């Protein structure tokens, strides 16, 4: 302790001494005079990036953020430091060049943000529509006074340069070793700042940078320069991936589909032909919600009602990968699986997809999607076009206010309400339509509990006192836990589904319509919270001990299998018919397109999933990590072990066969997307020409 105190005192003393020396010897002034170009470059680049963030992202968290300033400072210090390798007379050109480059990044993003409320991506440069749409609008409508402020960097450098010229600054001679020393010192300072920045990062920050889809978040954390560099890498990666291996991929594809059995018609074939469709993408809705009640109130009464009146697929999984919501959409619409690197929505939005909206369009449907969030989230602005939606209604089409905002954006009640107004108009104009409504409120972290309304997740009991009087006691149970908050949030979202159904009915929109509801993926909640849910001890307000006879094990297998999500297909007149029942065969999100296709009379001949009424109890659900599930077995490929669901052992051969199938499915799906195998006219020659054109 004494030693630490002594060292600390020595450090403080030496700092004081150095500060005094710096003051006395005017070292700062001297440094500034000798490095004025570098300093102007660094300061203006950091100011520009900070200004961009402050103008675009209006949140206290952003206003107070130090991390992006550190990130920007590290980048420009290193770039600026490398300028010292040049002779003084060449440095102005170097700094001006980079200053213009960094200014352009800020300026383009500022304009793009004004127009699209998101940051720009180089991947969009290949989309001519973007250049066309924005090109005309830029100078007149979109470029605002604030955008001119970004020019301070190059302007300041030009002014400083003319002053320096007059002072004969550039006549100074600096020998090579001196220049090298200066470079090393400055770059090292940049590296230290970068290190400090790295310490501020959380695992979520890193994973979001890798995914590169939550652009605002990345800019808010990493600053605009790292965002843009990362964006370039993310945009180039799929192009590189698709350069090699096309022939082998095409052969695998042909072999796979030659060997695949053709679909057989069944009693569900064409039963919904010509009907309108409303698909509800239920954010983070898990099936286990539907079995739960607190103090006699169901968590999801509306979902439960729809399930009890319609076709309820109770063993349904959404094998999403890092693309979460967007992977669910991909699988639902295209019967493909998530890609092995990046996400289909962000990295491969320019590929050809045999997607449900596009296939229904060919049958005369008007197709649309609606979502209250920013259109660039998960790159939906582009990907929804590739999937064949005629129109994507996003945040900019909704009246979003502070009052109607919950979590990521407009709450599900306001979103549905405004959506029904839009659907009513669509239905007036079009005979047949297919629409997707994507919910948003029930999104992790489920923290805005006071906005979810009153839904206690405690245990209330009435106890009789010895004197005969009664009183109500409450045990906290799930109150204050993340899982408990999820129940409150899900109950809130479920209420919005109830209101939506009522309004659709009032507007007569359910008469000839099939409603399809799916949970997009699980809510990623802690297993310990589930242990509390199933093993709560009221007396101690904690989880029962594992050796307690009443303890119910909720192990990792139960947790993984518990991640299932609901799929409900419902029509107003289905209740009591033979369709109205629970369907228990295992099924996955990528089985939906062939299943619906069979019912609506369209087909994707390159679907990787199956019509569940064709494959029935022989279905296998494959997960992106190679795990798989049948009605009888759940196999964990990481551990190389399985859980029998029917108390029977499974042979090594069976495991091997299914492992091969899982790998094949994941590979073929990935190759279809990466090599754009569904695109017609894909001869090798055309691909080479196209790749060259894209490269120029």
Q: What residues line the site for ligand GP9 (CB under 6 A)?
A: 324-325, 373, 377, 443
Least separation in angstroms between residue 672's CB and Mn ion is 23
Rounded Cα–Cα distance for residues 178 and 185 (Å) = 11
Supply the minimum distance, in Å, between the C-beta of residue 278 and ligand GP9. 18
CB of 461 to Mn ion, least distance (A): 36
Nearer to ligand GP9, 249 or 410 (CB): 410
Residue 494 binding: pick among Mn ion, ligand GP9, none (C-beta 5-8 Å cut-off by kind)? none
Q: Are the beta carbons of 312 and 583 closer than 8 angstroms?
A: yes
Shortest distance (Å) from residue 469 CB to Mn ion? 49
Query: What 3-state DSSP class applies to 587?
Result: strand
Nearer to ligand GP9 by Cβ, of 169 and 316: the residue is 316
Q: CB–CB of 77/42 below 8 Å?
A: yes
Q: Which is nearer to ligand GP9, 381 or 503 (CB)?
A: 381
Minimum separation from the CB atom of position 276 to Mn ion (A)? 25
Q: Choose the one of ligand GP9, Mn ion, none that binds residue 48, judging by a C-beta under 5 to 8 angstroms depending on kind.
A: none
252 binds, among Mn ion, ligand GP9, none (CB under 5 to 8 A by kind): none
Q: Which CB atom, from 147 or from 522, has the smaller least distance to Mn ion? A: 522
CB of 373 to ligand GP9, least distance (A): 4
Nearer to ligand GP9, 186 or 321 (CB): 321
Least Cβ distance, residue 325 to ligand GP9 (angstroms): 3
The helix (run of H) or strand (run of E) holding residue 281 is: strand 276-282
535 touches, from ligand GP9, Mn ion, none (C-beta below 5 to 8 Å by class)? none
Q: In 3-state terms, what secondary structure has residue 485?
A: helix
Nearest to ligand GP9 of 281, 361 (CB atom): 281
Alpha-helical regions (H) of 507-616: 527-534, 556-561, 592-600, 612-615
Pairwise CA distance, residues 69 & 220, whole Å: 10
CA gap 202, 205 in Å, rounded: 5
520 binds Mn ion (CB under 5 A): yes
Chain residues 306-325 in contact with Mn ion, contact rule CB under 5 A: 325
Q: Which residue, 77 or 325, is less far from ligand GP9 as judged by CB?
A: 325
User: 194: number of CA atoms within 13 Å, CB side?
Assistant: 13
Characterize 309-320 residue by residue with b for buried, 16 or more Cβ atoms within 10 angstroms of its Cβ, and e for exposed: bbbbbbbbbbbb
How many residues belong to the chain? 696
- Strand pairing of 433-438 and 628-629? unpaired
One character per residue 272-311, x = contact with Mn ion (rule: CB under 5 A): -----------x----------------------------
Give the span between the Cα atoms of 691 and 439, in whole angstroms.
38
> In whole angstroms, what separates CA 125 from the centre of its chain?
22
Compare residues 283 and 560 and give the one whose CB is closer to Mn ion.
283
Q: Which residue is nearest to Mn ion (CB)?
A: 325
Residue 501 to residue 638: CA distance in whole angstroms: 42
**Cβ closer to ligand GP9: 381 or 491?**
381
Q: How many helices (H) and strands (E) does the chain have?
A: 26, 22
- Say which residues have a Cβ less than 8 Å from residue 92's Cβ, sequence separation at least 6: 37, 157, 161, 164, 170
Q: Which two tokens mark 212?
A: 């590169």
Cα gap 299→566, rounded to integer Å: 14
583 binds, among Mn ion, ligand GP9, none (CB under 5 to 8 A by kind): none
d(CA 391, CA 435): 10
Q: How far is the CB of 326 from Mn ion (least distance, A)?
A: 8
Name the burial class of residue 527, with classes exposed (0-12), middle (13-18) and buried (19+) by CB atoms within 10 angstroms of its CB.
middle
- List the single partner that 373 binds among ligand GP9, Mn ion, none, CB under 5 to 8 Å by kind: ligand GP9
Specify the stretch interacting with Mn ion by CB under 5 A; choose among 115-123, 309-317, 342-350, 514-522: 514-522
Segment contacting Mn ion (CB under 5 A): 333-341, 518-526, 533-541, 649-657? 518-526
- Count the site residues for Mn ion by CB under 5 A: 3
- The helix (H) or strand (E) run that includes residue 469 is none
Q: Write down the least CB distance from residue 442 to Mn ion, Å.
A: 9
Cross-strand bridge partners of residue 276: 513
315 binds, among Mn ion, ligand GP9, none (CB under 5 to 8 A by kind): none
DSSP β-ladder status, 628-629 and 633-636:
antiparallel
Nearer to Mn ion, 283 or 309 (CB): 283
Judge whether 513 and 278 are in contact, CB under 8 Å.
yes
Between 283 and 593, CB nearer to Mn ion: 283
Shortest reach from residue 443's CB to ligand GP9, in Å: 5
Q: Least distance in Å: CB of 527 to ligand GP9? A: 20
What does 91 interact with, of Mn ion, ligand GP9, none (CB < 5 to 8 A by kind)? none
Q: Indicate which of Mn ion, ligand GP9, none lies near residue 347 (CB less than 5 to 8 Å, by partner kind).
A: none
Find, among 66, 269, 82, the residue nearest to 189 by Cα.
82
**Interacting residue ranges for Mn ion, rule: CB under 5 A:** 283, 325, 520
């Amino acid at each position: 302790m004494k030693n630490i105190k002594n060292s600390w005192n020595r450090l403080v003393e030496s700092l004081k001494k150095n500060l005094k020396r710096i003051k006395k010897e005017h070292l700062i002034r001297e440094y500034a005079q000798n490095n004025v170009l570098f300093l102007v470059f660094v300061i203006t680049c950091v100011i520009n990036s900070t200004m961009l963030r402050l103008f675009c992202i209006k949140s206290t968290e952003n206003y107070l953020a130090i991390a992006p300033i550190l990130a920007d400072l590290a980048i420009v210090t290193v770039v600026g430091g490398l300028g010292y390798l040049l002779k003084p007379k060449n440095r102005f050109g170097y700094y001006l060049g980079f200053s213009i480059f960094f200014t352009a990044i800020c300026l383009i993003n500022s304009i793009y943000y004004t127009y699209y409320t998101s940051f720009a991506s180089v991947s969009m440069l290949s989309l001519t529509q973007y250049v066309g749409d924005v090109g005309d609008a830029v100078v007149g409508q979109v470029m605002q006074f604030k955008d001119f402020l970004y020019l301070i960097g190059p302007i300041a450098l030009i002014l400083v340069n003319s002053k320096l010229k007059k002072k004969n600054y550039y006549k100074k001679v600096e020998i090579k070793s001196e220049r090298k020393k200066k470079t090393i010192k400055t770059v090292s300072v940049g590296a230290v700042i970068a290190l400090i920045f790295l310490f501020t990062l959380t695992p979520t920050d890193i994973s979001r940078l890798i995914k590169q889809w939550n652009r605002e978040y990345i800019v808010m954390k990493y600053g605009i320069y790292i965002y843009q560099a990362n964006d370039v890498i993310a945009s180039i990666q799929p192009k590189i991936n698709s350069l090699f291996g096309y022939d082998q991929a095409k052969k695998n594809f042909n072999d796979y589909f030659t060997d695949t059995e053709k679909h057989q018609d069944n009693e569900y074939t064409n039963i919904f032909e010509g009907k309108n469709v409303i698909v509800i993408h239920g954010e983070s809705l898990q099936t286990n919600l539907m079995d739960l009640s607190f103090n006699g109130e169901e968590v999801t009464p509306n979902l439960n009602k729809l399930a009890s009146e319609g076709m309820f697929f109770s063993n349904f999984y959404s094998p999403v990968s890092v693309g979460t919501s967007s992977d669910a959409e991909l699988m639902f619409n295209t019967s493909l699986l998530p890609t092995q690197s990046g996400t289909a929505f962000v990295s491969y939005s320019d590929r050809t997809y045999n997607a449900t909206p596009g296939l229904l369009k060919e049958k005369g449907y008007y197709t649309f999607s609606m979502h209250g969030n920013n259109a660039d989230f998960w790159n939906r602005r582009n990907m929804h076009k590739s999937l064949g939606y005629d129109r994507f209604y996003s945040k900019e089409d909704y009246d979003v206010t502070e009052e109607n905002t919950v979590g990521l954006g407009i709450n599900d009640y306001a979103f549905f309400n405004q959506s029904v107004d839009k659907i009513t108009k669509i239905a007036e104009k079009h005979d047949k339509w297919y629409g997707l409504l994507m919910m948003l409120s029930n999104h992790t972290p489920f923290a805005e509990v006071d906005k979810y309304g009153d839904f206690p997740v405690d245990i209330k009991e009435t106890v009789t006192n010895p004197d005969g009087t009664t009183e109500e006691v409450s045990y906290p149970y799930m109150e204050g836990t993340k899982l408990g908050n999820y129940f409150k949030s899900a109950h809130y979202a479920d209420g919005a589904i109830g209101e939506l159904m009522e309004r659709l009915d009032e507007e007569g929109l359910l008469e000839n319509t099939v409603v399809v509801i799916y949970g997009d993926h699980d809510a990623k909640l802690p297993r310990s919270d589930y242990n509390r849910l199933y093993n709560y001890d009221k007396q101690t307000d904690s989880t029962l001990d594992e050796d307690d006879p009443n303890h119910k094990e909720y192990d990792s297998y139960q947790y993984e299998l518990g991640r299932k999500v609901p799929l409900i297909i419902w029509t107003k007149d289905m209740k009591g018919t033979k369709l109205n029942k629970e369907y228990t065969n295992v099924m996955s999100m990528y089985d939906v397109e062939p299943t619906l296709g069979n019912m609506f009379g369209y087909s994707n001949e390159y679907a990787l999933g199956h019509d569940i009424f064709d494959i029935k109890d022989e279905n296998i659900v494959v997960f992106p990590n190679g795990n798989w599930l049948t009605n009888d077995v759940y196999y964990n490929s990481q551990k190389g072990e399985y859980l029998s669901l029917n108390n029977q052992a499974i042979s090594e051969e069976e495991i091997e066969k299914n492992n091969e199938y899982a790998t094949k499915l994941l590979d073929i799906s990935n190759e279809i997307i990466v090599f754009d195998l569904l695109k017609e006219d894909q001869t090798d020659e055309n691909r080479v020409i196209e790749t060259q054109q894209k490269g120029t």
